[in-house]
């Protein structure tokens, strides 16, 4: 297995507050890695550093062997890192199809080619019947899938998914899990921030647990669920 | 068949509008009425140009008069000092304006939303003060376009307004075609994405600064063409006329009133706003200094509260209301 993403000693400080401190981990190509931790553990901050939305205060991020620390988010997308947002951010004045076309235009500026690719991504995410709708008219679950389709249309090597199962019904969670497995089969690695344990535990190859901005544990889902430090973080001493 | 119909109807409407626009000045022969029609076309054209940045890309500029003024001054200065035809001067003005826009946009686009708008006001104000005190460009006295031989080569017409009308119409059509092409290309999608959700746009690989600069470069180019045209139409410019704040507001207002981010919105907006202005000007006479500003304020309030999508949005609403029963039956 080849190392896709290597995070070393990453730190992010907001004034006196250390949101991330000395975080190191690796992500292999094609792997699904779950990133969990209690509220305020620094998961989204870490995410934003990797996606280029925040400039890390210290440490390095390597992607495919290249130092990408501090690159802007648009550059990250060009390199092959795509993300979704915890609070969905669809382009409200565009249709579902046009939303995904914007993503597809990263690799090919032709409108016709982008349309083809967007249709394929929408089909893959089960939104083929919604293409003419305005994004704001979709259900929450559909909007999440729209974000996924849009990110996939950029043809990423690594997908950063920020709580895409939050607020979904059990059957919708089941569908989302299925979809992420399908994405993995296409050779795309996923780093997933998730609170919904029944969503992330069955599909993650590897888990990373954060608490108070630090990594407190990592391992397979089975190992994590037995780890005393993790149990303490979630349930209290 | 049904998918075809809206397009056919749209094309027919456009052809009709174009025919009316071509014939109108032949019917309306009074110079003052022709001048009024020219103003409608001119403000429609700069509105369409403003729309590229303010409407599609969502960066509301309230200093667009800077580009208008640069266009007017560049073509006039080239005409006076180098004898260059305003046709070429117009293009030169567009390019100078684009370069200036990029230089200004680079720092200003670090500001978001209202802060960007405020910065554009400052830029335009500074330019006005600068030109007022800059003797080599005429200072506060302004510049007279040189007395050149009347005709198309020099874009100077003393005896008839008719040629100006057709030049304004031509400029409007060219600007509309450019907008139409942008709307259909990836740029149109990128601009709207940047407007709707900048963070999501950048996560999809869109460099916000780069594409905002593209938008302001195109927008300022076409705005400058309008400025050069104005200089030729009036044969005189000064900072008070081509660099005035109220002109900036009017460019934005024409578009906001007509429909932000829609191709023909500014044309409708200009028709309505210029007409209202003409009526109030006649009603209140020369003493009406400021009535136009009161009117602007009232229109902004009404549009913002009741019709945020402008005339175009309002027309769409009506059409939908009437189309519904048809579609069901």
pLDDT by residue (tens digit) across A37-51?
Answer: 988 889 999 999 999
CB contact under 8 A, A53 and B199: yes
Residue B280 has pLDDT above 80, yes or no: no
Average pLDDT in the A214-229 region? 92
Beta bridge partner(s), residue A217: A209
Residue A210 has pLDDT above 60, yes or no: yes
> Residues A74-124: pLDDT tens digits?
999 999 999 999 888 999 989 999 999 999 999 999 999 999 999 999 999
> What per-residue confidence (pLDDT) applies to B325?
57
B91 vs chain A: nearest CA distance in angstroms?
28
Q: How many domains does the structure of chain A reveal?
A: 1
Neighbours of A129 (CB within 10 A): 10
Phi first, then psi, for residue A51 (nearest 5°) are -80, -5
CB contact under 8 A, A89 and B197: yes
CB contact under 8 A, A94 and B204: no
Residue A127 has pLDDT above 90, yes or no: yes
Q: Looking at chain A, how many residues does it have?
A: 237
Q: A141 CB contacts (<8 Å, ≥6 apart)?
A: A168, A169, A172, A175, A176
Q: Using only C-alpha atoms, what is the Rg of chain A?
A: 17
Beta strands at A17-28 and A81-83: parallel, antiparallel or unpaired:
unpaired
> What per-residue confidence (pLDDT) applies to B148?
80
> Residues A161-173: pLDDT tens digits?
999 888 889 999 9
> What per-residue confidence (pLDDT) applies to B1?
39
Question: To which residue do tokens 């389709």 refer?
Answer: A149
Which position has the higher pLDDT, A231 or B192?
Answer: B192
| CB nearest B204 (choices: A77, A98, A109) | A77
Closest CA to A52 of A69, A64, A35, A40: A69
Model confidence band, residue B302 (pLDDT cutoffs 50, 70, 90): confident
Question: To which residue do tokens 């089975």 refer?
Answer: A222
Beta strands at A17-28 and A3-14: parallel, antiparallel or unpaired:
antiparallel
Instruction: Map out the domains of chain B as residue ranges.
Output: 29-244
Say how far apart CA B39 and CA B48 lie, in whole Å.
Answer: 14
| DSSP code per residue over A7-35 | EEEEEEEETTEEEEEEEEEEEETT-EEEE
**Is residue A151 in a domain?**
no
> Residues B117-150: pLDDT tens digits?
999 999 999 999 999 999 999 998 999 998 888 8
User: CATH code at A73?
Assistant: 3.40.50.300
Tell whether B181 lies on the interface with A, counting CB pairs under 8 A: no
Residue B261 has pLDDT above 90, yes or no: no
Q: Report chain A residues touching chain B, CB-CB < 8 A.
A: 51, 53, 72-74, 76-78, 82-83, 85, 89-94, 98, 101-103, 105-106, 109-111, 114, 147, 150-151, 154
Residue A1 has pLDDT above 70, yes or no: no
| CB nearest B199 (choices: A89, A93, A105) | A89
Both tokens of residue B278?
């003409």
Say how far apart CA B204 and CA A77 lie, in whole Å.
Answer: 6
Task: Find the domain containing A198 and state its range.
Answer: 1-80+191-237
| CB nearest A106 (choices: B195, B200, B204) | B204
CA–CA–CA angle B113, A47, A198 (5° rounding)? 120
- Whether the CB-CB separation of B128 and B239 falls below 8 Å is answered with yes
> What per-residue confidence (pLDDT) applies to B294?
79
CB contact under 8 A, B189 and A83: no
Give me the torsion for CA of B21, B23, B29, B35, rounded to 10°: 20
Which position has the higher pLDDT, B224 or B291?
Answer: B224
Q: Is A235 helix (H, G, I), strand (E, B) or coil?
A: helix
- Whether the CB-CB separation of A5 and A67 falls below 8 Å is answered with no
Question: To which residue do tokens 């921030």 refer?
Answer: A193
Residue B292 has pLDDT above 80, yes or no: no
A110 vs chain B: nearest CA distance in angstroms?
7
Average pLDDT in the B266-291 region? 80
> What per-residue confidence (pLDDT) applies to B323?
73
Say how far apart CA A141 and CA B280 lie, in whole Å.
Answer: 53
Average pLDDT in the A195-212 region? 90
Say how far apart CA B216 and CA B209 lie, in whole Å.
Answer: 10
Model confidence band, residue B327 (pLDDT cutoffs 50, 70, 90): very low
**Is residue A12 in a domain?**
yes
Q: Which of A19-33, B6-20, B62-76 has the lowest mean pLDDT?
A: B6-20
- Whether the CB-CB separation of A194 and A43 falls below 8 Å is answered with no
> Residues B196-235: pLDDT tens digits?
999 999 999 999 999 999 999 999 999 999 999 999 999 9
Residue B176 has pLDDT above 90, yes or no: yes
> What per-residue confidence (pLDDT) applies to B282?
75
Sheet holding A3-14, edge to edge: A17-28, A3-14, A58-63, A66-67
Residues in A touching B205 (Cβ below 8 Å): 74, 77-78, 106, 154
Model confidence band, residue B3 (pLDDT cutoffs 50, 70, 90): very low
Say how far apart CA A141 and CA A79 lie, in whole Å.
Answer: 28
- Whether the CB-CB separation of B228 and B42 falls below 8 Å is answered with no
Residue B4 has pLDDT above 70, yes or no: no
Q: What rounded mean pLDDT belongs to chain A?
A: 92
Both tokens of residue B163?
């040629």
- Please, what is the angle between helix B31-51 and helix B208-234, to 10°? 170
The pLDDT > 70 percentage for chain A reads 99
Residue B324 has pLDDT above 70, yes or no: no
* DSSP state letter for B262: -
> What per-residue confidence (pLDDT) applies to B303?
82
């Amino acid at each position: 297995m080849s190392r896709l993403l290597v995070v070393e000693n990453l730190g992010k400080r907001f004034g006196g507050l250390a949101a991330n401190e000395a975080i190191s981990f690796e992500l292999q190509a094609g792997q699904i890695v779950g990133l969990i931790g209690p509220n305020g553990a620094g998961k989204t901050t870490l995410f934003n550093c990797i996606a280029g939305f925040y400039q890390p205060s210290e440490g390095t991020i390597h992607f495919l062997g290249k130092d990408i620390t501090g690159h802007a988010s648009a550059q990250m997308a060009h390199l092959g890192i795509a993300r979704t947002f915890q609070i969905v951010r669809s382009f409200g004045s565009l249709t579902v199809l046009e939303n995904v076309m914007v993503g597809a235009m990263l690799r090919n500026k032709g409108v016709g080619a982008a349309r083809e690719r967007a249709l394929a991504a929408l089909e893959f995410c089960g939104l083929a019947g919604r293409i003419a709708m305005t994004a704001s008219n979709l259900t929450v679950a559909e909007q999440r899938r729209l974000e996924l389709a849009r990110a996939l249309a950029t043809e990423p090597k690594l997908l950063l998914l920020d709580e895409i199962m939050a607020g979904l019904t059990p059957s919708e969670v089941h569908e989302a899990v299925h979809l992420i497995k399908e994405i993995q089969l296409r050779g795309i690695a996923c780093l997933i921030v998730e609170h919904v344990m029944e969503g992330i535990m069955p599909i993650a190859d590897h888990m990373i647990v954060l608490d108070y901005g630090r990594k407190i544990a990592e391992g397979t889902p089975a190992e994590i669920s037995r780890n005393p430090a993790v149990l303490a973080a979630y349930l209290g001493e | 068949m049904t998918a075809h119909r809206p397009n056919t109807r749209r094309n027919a409407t456009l052809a009709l509008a174009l025919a009316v626009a071509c014939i109108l000045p032949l019917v309306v022969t009074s110079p003052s009425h022709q001048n009024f029609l020219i103003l409608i076309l001119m403000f429609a054209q700069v509105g369409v140009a403003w729309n590229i940045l303010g409407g599609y890309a969502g960066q509301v500029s309230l200093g667009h008069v800077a580009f208008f003024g640069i266009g007017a001054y560049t073509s006039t200065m080239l005409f006076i000092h180098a004898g260059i035809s305003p046709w070429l001067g117009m293009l030169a003005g567009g390019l100078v304006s684009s370069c200036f826009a990029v230089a200004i946009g680079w720092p200003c686009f670090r500001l978001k939303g209202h802060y960007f708008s405020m910065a554009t006001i400052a830029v335009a104000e500074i330019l006005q003060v600068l030109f007022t005190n800059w003797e080599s460009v005429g200072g506060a006295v302004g510049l007279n376009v040189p007395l050149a031989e009347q005709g198309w080569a020099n874009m100077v017409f003393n005896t008839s307004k008719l040629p100006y009308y057709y030049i304004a119409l031509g400029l409007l059509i060219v600007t509309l075609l450019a907008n139409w092409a942008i709307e259909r290309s990836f740029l149109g999608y990128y601009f709207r994405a940047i407007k709707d959700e900048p963070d999501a746009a950048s996560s999809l690989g869109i460099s916000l600064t780069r594409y905002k600069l593209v938008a302001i470069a195109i927008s300022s180019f076409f705005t400058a063409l309008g400025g050069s045209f104005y200089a030729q139409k009036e044969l005189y410019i000064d900072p008070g006329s081509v660099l005035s704040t109220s002109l900036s507001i009017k460019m934005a207002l024409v578009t906001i009133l007509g429909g932000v981010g829609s191709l023909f919105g500014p044309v409708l907006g200009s028709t309505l706003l210029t007409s209202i202005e003409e009526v109030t000007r006649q009603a209140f006479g020369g003493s009406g200094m400021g009535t136009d500003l009161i009117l602007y304020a009232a229109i902004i309030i009404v549009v913002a509260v009741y019709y945020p999508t402008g005339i175009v949005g309002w027309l769409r609403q009506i059409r939908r209301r009437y189309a519904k029963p048809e579609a069901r039956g």
